[in-house]
Chains A and B, each alone.
Chain A
Amino acid sequence: MSMLYDVPGPRARRRVLISSLVGLAVLALLLLVAGQRLADNGQFAYELYEPFLTEPQVYERLADGLRNTLTAAAYALVLASLLGVLLAFGRLSSKPWVRLPATVVVEVFRGLPLLLVIFAIFLAFPLAFGIELSALQALVLGLTLYNGAVIAEIVRAGVLAIPRGQTEAAMAVGLGRGQVLRLVLLPQAVRIMLPSLVSQLVVLLKDTSLGFIIGFSELLRTGGELVQVLDNPIQMYVAVALVYIVLNGSLSLLASYLEGRQRRTGGTVVPAMQIETGMGQAGAPV
């Protein structure tokens, strides 16, 4: 029960019951209108669903697409984590000539649309370095730069959330700054930032779908190609959406489980919401 209202008495219970029925009726009406609209346009015709039931090829193609999506996400996750830790260490450094460039990289890549970054990599790499990138490489690199910048902020917030005493004790026994960070702070910060990292993985997985724009055959693009043949856009894209929802939904559940466990044991967590989006926000994570 929310704190916004009392435990309901008989009159309030009746009111809630009536509102519930009205609410249900309105929701049912909305669904009915949508269903009617779909039916009027023949969207429940068996042919539109038949390929999912009778064509094993549809599943093979979609599975290939899903495999490509997961491949891109896996590469990007590993590389972005490495880059993120590196950038976070850079921002936490005591030397201004390390801190400054790291800060600029983080702020710039967090502030740019990922699509622009991917386009830029795709176009600029051949020009600047004479290297032609495959669509997968451009996508992974773009995802790495953007998510690396975000993960850097998560790691930094995690490290800063560790009590000062840890640093002081580690320095007192003679560890250097780098050693303190690597051996004492980072291992403890992992617990704090794990929920946010898993939430960020959801963002990363969703962003792999941008691969369709540069011609990478991930799940969404594969769905689009199948629509060309099967001519069932609504059914196909809903099916694709369901795959994403199941994948990301499980990850979101894992994230909130981890966060709940962390809070139960009295630990702090990095608030995911503020970090995962946008730059230079007022409530900057510290």
Chain B
Amino acid sequence: MDAVLSNLDVFVRGFTTTVTLTLAAVVGALVLGTVIAAMRVSPVPPLRWAGATYVQLVRNTPLTVVFFLVVFGLPEVDITLSFFVSAVLALSLYTAAFVAEAVRSGVSSVATGQAEASRAVGMTFGQTLRLVVLPQAFANIVPPLASVFIALLKNTSIASAFFVFEGVQSMNQLINANGDAVLAILAAAAVAYLGLALLASALFGLLERAVTVSR
């Protein structure tokens, strides 16, 4: 236990990076994922195909392979990024496919009559989506999105294998330095992840209550 308490600063540094990594990737995945979801529900066939292809390819690829391609592949074509930025990019590219699926299923879960009614009063595709469907879809999107982002929080641990000093990496460093307190250090890291996951799910719970449409 002493090993944990006296090295709290190392843990805090590591898990702060875990949090910033998660938040940066949330932004990236949200932007890319929403664009892909919009492509997938659009009336333009090539965009639909491109969106579907992206989701199919990325969903079936392990995140570790995406990391390898970003961290070791991009330098081959003269794109050198810092390890942190590479990790954000890999996590965003991967998570975007799941965000797109969550957004799309949220959109398609809005009652058909809503979109039909908007079209009946003469709204265009863009207006239907922006003014009628999306506000209602938002309530359906939040719960699956919460799962996706909590999975993302856990997935940031893979960045530890790609030279990013985050939670797991700080744990490994402490274990190497304190061979007599391995179990305590493991337990502390586990508690940190569970705490962050609980915090995230509490925040999403609040968000969910805020966006629920009252009928």
The answer to whether residues A279 and B43 also contact, given A116-B168, A119-B168, A212-B64 and a CB cut-off of 8 A, is no
Chain B residues within 8 Å of A, Cβ to Cβ: 41, 43-47, 50, 56-57, 59-65, 68-69, 72-73, 76-78, 98, 101-102, 105, 107, 112, 115-116, 119, 125, 128-129, 133, 142-144, 146-151, 154-158, 160-161, 168, 171-172, 175, 182-183, 186, 189-190, 193-194, 197-198, 201, 204-205, 208
The answer to whether residues A282 and B72 also contact, given A27-B50, A116-B189 and a CB cut-off of 8 A, is no
Main secondary structure of the interface of B (DSSP, over half): helix
Residues on the A chain within 8 Å of B41, using CB: 2, 4
Residue from the list B107, B129, B148, B156 in contact with A277, Cβ < 8 A: B148
8 Å CB interface, A161-180 against B:
none
Residue from the list A27, A244, A274 in contact with B62, Cβ < 8 A: A244
Residue from the list B144, B157, B161, B182 in contact with A123, Cβ < 8 A: B182
A89 to B101, CA, bound (A): 31
Q: Does chain B have a CB within 8 A of A64?
A: no
Partner-contacting stretch, out of A15-23, A76-84, A91-99: A15-23
The answer to whether residues A249 and B60 also contact, given A115-B168, A120-B190, A240-B65 and a CB cut-off of 8 A, is yes
A-B interface pairs (CB < 8 A), number: 199
Interchain CB contact under 8 A, B186 and A206: no
Chain A residues within 8 Å of B, Cβ to Cβ: 2-6, 8, 12, 16, 19-20, 23-24, 27, 37-38, 40-41, 43, 108, 111-116, 119-120, 123-124, 127-128, 202, 206-207, 209-210, 212-213, 220, 223-224, 227, 233-234, 237-238, 240-241, 244-245, 247-249, 252, 273-274, 276-283
Interchain CB contact under 8 A, B65 and A244: yes
Interchain CB contact under 8 A, B60 and A213: no
Interchain CB contact under 8 A, A233 and B73: yes
Residues on the A chain within 8 Å of B72, using CB: 227, 233, 237
